[in-house]
Amino acid sequence: MILPGATLGVVGGGQLGRMFAIAAQRMGYRVAVLDPDPDSPAKCLADVHLEADYADPSALDELARLCAAVTVEFENVPAESLERLARSRPVRPGSAAIAIAQDRIREKRFITECGLSCVPFSVVRNRDELFTALARFESSAVLKRARFGYDGKGQARVDSLEEALLAFKEFGSEPCVLEKLLVLQSEISVILARDAAGATAVYPAIENRHRDGILDISLIPARAPQAITHAARDAAVRIAAALDYCGVLAVEFFISNDKLLVNEIAPRPHNSGHVTLDACMTSQFEQQVRALCGLPLGDPGLLCPAAMTNLLGDLWNCGVPHWEVVLEEPRAKLHLYGKRAARPGRKMGHFTCLGDSLDEASARALRIQESLVRELKGAGPATVSATPQSVQRGP
């Protein structure tokens, strides 16, 4: 075991790195963060901030020198960087698992090799493969870049050959996958922690609703049929075992025509898992610390139903949002990420509402969300839809 007093490293200083640092320091660890952004959200909390590129050899060597073990906050860390760190320090999760999640083509093939179902897809590397893929689906589809897509970026719905060619060009003619467009009943995620010996701690399934490709609200426990949530749990555990995974893993699922389909794998804490900070016995970030340090995993049990709502930069269009709207609610918890620049679509924070029932927590969250938007507009009722999107998207 790596015990409190040691220094833990995290590659990436965004909000996930910040929340990892909070969890680690609360448990008595020091934290070193590697991130090139001088204003990264984790910088002000880190005991050491290495302001350097993720591939900088000297910075990586310094991180290894300082730390007893290293983790990551996002999956697009260069594999070579993780391999360099792993020569002298435990790196959890390992580079092999992260490499699969970095690339949609590898990821989807891995999912099918695990005996699980995903959205029907075709690999697109050039114009000819794009033509063939469109002919296969004979309907609307979603073109997604194989790498570096998130929050609706790097993907486009295409309804014709012309639209597909334009999107492929906009994606730099880089390798893509073309997915059949499905009507979705709902989307859920399963988050688990797995230690080096293979023990797992699985959170209740989380129901997710999106707006413009970005997660809007997460509800725990998910309101999907029990048979579906049990199957999702089993699938997530199977994926983690096949990856020989150590750390926190999130698996996103689509439910379409009462069928469970794996959408994406995230080899890190997940946006939907922020709800565990207030709703569960052990948060996903404490589990990340525990798995990294070889500690026994914590209890993932749900304390009460909850609804987590993202706060995007759009709310800052007219200045600082009216936080009293959140803070006046005794069963709401506000989390801001310390980001200096608020941009449309940028995740600036979240709030979580607790309730004696999921309906109560959800209604409370929607009421606060509507009030924040109403204050932003300055007049009139805000229109905030609680209806989930009907087409698939990325993480």
Report residue 59's pLDDT band, with 50, 70 and 90 as the boundaries.
very high
Q: Are 362 and 152 in contact (CB under 8 A)?
A: no
Average pLDDT over residues 270-288: 98
Q: Give me the pLDDT at residue 390, please.
A: 35
Q: Mean pLDDT over all residues of the chain?
A: 92
Length of the chain: 395
Range 11-29 average pLDDT: 97
Res 111: pLDDT: 97
The answer to whether residue 360 scores a pLDDT higher than 70 is: yes
Residue 152's pLDDT band (boundaries 50, 70, 90)?
Answer: low
Is 121 in a helix, a strand, or coil? strand
The alpha-helical segments, DSSP class H, found in 138-225 are 161-170
Measured CA to CA, the distance from residue 226 to residue 255 in angstroms comes to 13
Q: What is 186-377's CATH number, 3.30.70.270, 3.30.470.20, 3.40.30.10, 3.90.1150.10?
A: 3.30.470.20
Q: Which sequence spans correspond to the domains of the chain? A: 7-91, 120-180, 186-377
Note the pLDDT tens digit of each residue in 108-149: 999 999 999 999 999 999 999 998 998 888 778 999 999 876
DSSP H helices, 115-160, are: 127-137
Query: Are 71 and 248 in contact, with CB atoms under 8 Å apart?
Result: no
pLDDT at residue 382 is higher than 80: no
pLDDT at 386 over 90: no
Contact 189, 271 (CB under 8 A): no
pLDDT of residue 155: 87
**315 in Cβ contact with 337 (< 8 Å):** no
Residue 384 pLDDT level (bands cut at 50, 70, 90)? very low
Report the pLDDT value the prediction gives residue 378, as an integer from 0 to 100.
63
The answer to whether residues 164 and 181 touch, using CB atoms and an 8 Å cutoff, is no
Choose the CATH number for 120-180 among 3.30.1490.20, 3.40.190.10, 1.10.10.10, 3.40.50.300.
3.30.1490.20
What's the order of all strands across the beta sheet hosting 48-50?
48-50, 30-34, 7-11, 69-72
Per-residue pLDDT tens for 24-35?
999 999 999 999
Closest CA to 17 of 37, 36, 33: 33
**184: nearest Cα among 270, 116, 255:** 255
Higher per-residue pLDDT: 154 or 326: 326
- Going by C-alpha positions, the residue among 112, 90, 380, 139 that lies closest to residue 246 is 90
Distance CA 225, CA 124 (A): 35
Lowest pLDDT segment from 170-179, 222-231, 323-332 = 170-179
pLDDT at 136: 87
Calculate the alpha carbon distances from 210 to 272, 285, 347, 377 in Å.
Answer: 11, 23, 13, 21
Output the pLDDT for position 379.
38
> What are residue 179's phi and psi, to 5 degrees?
-105, 145
- Please give the residue that has the higher pLDDT: either 387 or 160: 160
In CATH, which of 3.30.420.10, 1.10.1740.10, 3.40.50.1360, 3.40.50.20 is domain 7-91?
3.40.50.20
Q: Which two tokens stand for residue 108?
A: 């989807």
Tens of pLDDT, residue by residue over 130-141, are 989 988 887 789
Mean pLDDT within 52-73: 98
Tokens standing for residue 377: 């507009």
Residue range 51-76: mean pLDDT, rounded: 97
Which of 47, 44, 50, 1 shows the shortest CA–CA distance to 25? Answer: 47
SS3 45: coil
